[in-house]
Amino acid sequence: MTTPPHVLVTGAGPGGLTLARVLQRHGIAVTVLEREADITTRDQGGTLDMQRDSGQVALASAGLLEEFLRVSRPEGQDMRMLAPDGSVLIDERAAPGELFNPEIDRGDLRALLLGSLAPGTVRWGTRLDRVEHRDDGGLDAVLAGPPDGTGPGTREHVTADLVVGADGARSRVRPLLSAATPSYTGVTFVELRVTPASFPGLEALVGRGGMTTRTAGRALFCQRLGDGSARVYAGFRRPPGWAAEHGLTTTAGVLDDPAAARAVLLTAFAGFAPELRELVVRSDDRIVERPLEMLPVGHRWDPVPGVTLIGDAAHLMSPFSGQGANSAMLDAADLAREVAATPHDLAGAVARYEATMFPRAEHNAAGAAQGLERFFSAEAAADPVAVFAEAMAEVGAAGAYGDAGGTGPAAARRTG
């Protein structure tokens, strides 16, 4: 082993960047491989709530909690629930000073974490194809060439003492540890974006935070972002292939014909109030199909020297626990702490991390699976307020993982 150890992380998402930051705070060398060319390569997506018992704990380990609280949006905790006819069922506003789970745009979170790293930590435009064992017991990272898929693959000898897969749902590190692959949950989200300019009634309809409305098997979720725009997720319980089912095509998940996609969505939400349908009518042309996938609840593996996983790579789950990014970051903080505690016993550090992470992930994944079923159930459509109250009551009964899992307010906001 090199002294001190060198850690190679695949993936510059919330998990990988948090890991890099906390390791660097402990003086441990780390390199992050990221397939995207830079932080501007893709639309950074919607907003994340950072929970006091998970994401905020990780941010504190990263020394970034104060800065997070400065740039996050406590008002994003507001929650509205509407009936499909537009009547208001719940209109909750965050109390002044409430910091249980303030929101931050994904792009802002990524920028916060990136800005805290030593220059050159992230190798952009570097796509890992696979990790292989060498005859001498070391590991080879095999890079897949430029992110656009052109050019020959490059075989690169990794000098790392520990390889961490933080590369999300389709992890290229996971096969070293487990044969598990993600499966479809039965629910697809279609993501749209509206702005106050395109929809002047946005604030009145959605408020400052999140809004949901549903009928059996169909729902609209709406979240305000820092720039005043909103992400809208039209959720359906459908067999896989929503777009293809309607004769629509996609390129990397983006619908090729947004007008046709809107027409299909408006048919699906025909019974909803005109102002709710306006969220579809007034959306911009970037419409994305997101089939929700999950790894098996309780996914785990036998130890393999020099390799582990964090975040979605380890425990991909639907967003119905509200814990995906939060737990990716908590995994990262836990792993970094263990590595820093015994830098010359990485096997021990990984074993202690996995012993903490496995049961937590199982608890959260079970909550996400249960939350998804509950959200789209006929019972919840018939009486969403009662189901919301039930979910909130479970908050008080949250168990070993505090608010983590499918029982916390974030989960209740999604599942209620």
Ligand X SMILES: Cc1cc2nc3c(=O)[nH]c(=O)nc-3n(C[C@H](O)[C@H](O)[C@H](O)COP(=O)(O)OP(=O)(O)OC[C@H]3O[C@@H](n4cnc5c(N)ncnc54)[C@H](O)[C@@H]3O)c2cc1C
Element of type H or E holding 397: none
Q: Which of residues 244-303 bind ligand X (CB under 6 A)?
A: 290
Smallest distance from ligand X to CB 329, Å: 8
Question: How many Å apart are CA 211 and CA 310, to the nearest integer?
Answer: 30
36 binds ligand X (CB under 6 A): yes
**Helix H or strand E segment including 388:** helix 384-396
Cα distance between residue 413 and residue 408, in whole Å: 8
Minimal distance, residue 200 CB to ligand X, in Å: 26
Q: Is the peptide bond between 303 and the residue preceding it cis, with omega within 30 degrees of 0?
A: no
What residues have CB less than 8 Å from 85, skipping those under 6 apart? 272, 273
Joined together, the tokens standing for residue 404 give 């983590």
**Integer Cα distance of 174 and 313 in angstroms:** 7
Is residue 49 part of an annotated ligand binding site?
A: yes
- Closest to ligand X by CB, 172 vs 299, is 172
Task: In angstroms, give the least distance from the CB of 342 to ligand X.
Answer: 24
Residue 102 as a binder of ligand X (CB under 6 A): the answer is no
Burial (Cβ within 10 Å: 0-12, 13-18, ≥19) of residue 312? buried
Q: Is 74 in the site for ligand X (CB under 6 A)?
A: no
Task: Please choose, out of 63-71, 309-317, 382-390, 398-406, the segment that lies near ligand X by the rule CB under 6 A.
Answer: 309-317
In the complex, the smallest distance separating the C-beta of residue 3 from ligand X, rounded to whole angstroms, is 27
Using the rule CB under 6 A, is 56 a contact of ligand X?
A: no
12 binds ligand X, rule: CB under 6 A: yes
3-state secondary structure of 25: helix
Range in contact with ligand X (rule: CB under 6 A) among 23-31, 69-77, 160-168, 236-244: 160-168
Residue 338 sits in the site that holds ligand X (CB under 6 A)? no
Stretch that binds ligand X, among 12-20, 64-72, 208-216, 385-393 (CB under 6 A): 12-20
Query: Pick from 49, 108, 334, 394: which binds ligand X (CB under 6 A)?
Result: 49
Residue 21 labelled as part of a binding site: no
42 annotated to bind ligand: yes
The reply to whether 311 sits near ligand X by the rule CB under 6 A is yes
* 107 is a contact residue toward ligand X (CB under 6 A): no
Q: Residue-wise over 182-207: b if at least 16 C-beta within 10 A, else e?
A: beebbbbbbbbbbbeeebeebeebbb
Q: In this structure, what DSSP letter does residue 378 have?
A: H
Compare residues 103 and 161 and give the one whose CB is closer to ligand X: 103
Q: Judge whether 312 is annotated as a binding position.
A: yes
Q: b/e for 112-130, b at 16 or more Cβ within 10 A?
A: bbbebbeeebbeebbbbee
* 215-244 binders of ligand X (CB under 6 A): 233
Contact stretch for ligand X (CB under 6 A) within 72-80, 252-260, 311-319, 394-402: 311-319
Rg, Å, the chain Cα set: 21
48 close to 103: Cβ distance less than 8 angstroms: yes
CB neighbours (10 Å) of residue 400?
9
Query: Which of 319, 343, 367, 416 is the binder for ligand X (CB under 6 A)?
Result: 319
Binding region: 42, 49, 106, 312
Binding region for NADPH: 42
The binding site for ligand X (CB under 6 A) comprises 10-16, 33-36, 48-49, 127-128, 166-168, 172, 189, 233, 290, 311-313, 319, 322-326, 328
